[in-house]
Amino acid sequence: MKKLHTFNLIPVLILTLLCSFTIAQDDDGDLGTDKLAQTGMKFLSFSPDARAAALGDAVTAKTGGASSLFYNPAGMARLEGMNLSAGQANWIAGITYNAFSVAYASDAGVFGVSVMNVDYGEIQGTIRSSNTAGYTDTELFTPTANVVGLGYAIAPTDRFSVGGQVKFVNEKLGNAYLETEGSVEGIESLDMDAVAYDFGLMYQMDWKKLMIAMSATNFSESLKYAEEAFELPLTFRMGVAVDVIENLSLSFVNERPRDYFSTTRVGFEYSLMGMLAVRAGYVTPTDEAGINLGVGFQVAGFNVDVAYTDFGVFDPVTRVGVQFTL
């Protein structure tokens, strides 16, 4: 018994060390605006999952099914059977996110696949020009982004879970143009491929089912468009989740992204007879996003989730998701 108890402390020590490292990343205390908008492929930071969005994305320490691949791959480690998840998010400026994930539990662990597509709609391209208007139209184009992830998670003990994911990323931003002697010519295609990595840990305590967790998403090498180098939106998160009272859980996340201020996320989830869940989430600081609200319910064996986010001067953002376990 003493050996088992000692072994179960090892994940706690690992989490503590990793969390300390995460805090140290921004420990200068004076970020100013140096970090803002300093990454590319920002869509990789987006969470398409409706349940997570309703909780203000305070889900690092929340277990789940295949959709865990979008925020902490360790969250699917205790899945039984097969879980499928699909969702859509209507983002600001007419941008649409579509996501699908599937996870399968085997004797060797849980294997998962995640897919996300970003549709930016049709955009009129322009370049600077010496004419009276100051610009020249180039072409109508439809920028897109696609991500395919392969994940794996395992629970080596009844308390400790670990998971990871490798993501293959592609972004198409149309063509680059150059104006020469009054004519406009396309000079190169602005397509970019990248590989990114996610990693997560979770540890379950006895007291009120307290879960502590951490995740690191979007590890990657520097990329370059033409002459401009940029980084992916690497983000560290520390989280806890606890059952405050029966059927009511509270989750908390401290998020430290490469390109924004340290962010605090808080989520509340109340479950009624396992058939209906009411959720709310709050994030600070934020630019325009306000309160997050959502519900989840079961219909004919399917879990349906809906989320609403107030977005200030923009139209509200809505997300819808469906999950099914075989």
Residue 68 CA to residue 112 CA, distance in Å, equals: 10
The phi, psi pair for 312, rounded to 5°, reads: 60, -120
The domains of the chain are located at: 2-325
pTM score: 0.84
Helix (H, G, I), strand (E, B) or coil at 140: strand
The phi, psi pair for 143, rounded to 5°, reads: -70, 145
Q: For residue 118, give both structure tokens.
A: 């970003």
Residues of the chain with pLDDT under 70: 1-37, 177-188, 226-227
What is the CA 179 to chain-centroid distance, rounded? Answer: 39
Q: Can you say whether the dihedral through the CA atoms of 101, 203, 279, 197 is positive or negative?
A: negative
Among residues 40, 35, 46, 45, the alpha carbon closest in space to that of 173 is found at: 40
Task: Kindly state the DSSP code that residue 77 receives in the 8-state scheme.
Answer: T
Q: What pLDDT score was predicted for residue 219?
A: 92
**CB 309 within 8 Å of CB 52:** no
Backbone torsion region of residue 241, taken as left when φ is above 0, otherwise alpha when ψ lies between -120 and 50, otherwise beta: beta
Partners of 230 in beta bridges:
223
Q: What pLDDT score was predicted for residue 179?
A: 62
Among residues 87, 168, 184, the alpha carbon closest in space to that of 130 is found at: 184
Residue 230 CA to residue 255 CA, distance in Å, equals: 21
Residue 249 CA to residue 269 CA, distance in Å, equals: 5
Count how many Cα atoms sit within 13 Å of the Cα of residue 54 in the half-sphere of its side chain. Answer: 21
Helix (H, G, I), strand (E, B) or coil at 296: strand
Helix (H, G, I), strand (E, B) or coil at 76: helix
| Residue 10: its H or E element | helix 2-24
Query: pLDDT tens-digit profile of 251-295?
Result: 999 999 988 788 999 999 999 877 899 999 999 988 777 789 999
**CB 239 within 8 Å of CB 253:** yes
Across 155-275, the runs of DSSP E, i.e. the strands, are 160-180, 183-204, 211-219, 223-225, 228-230, 235-245, 248-257, 263-272
Structurally, at CATH architecture level, domain 2-325 sits in Beta Barrel (2.40)
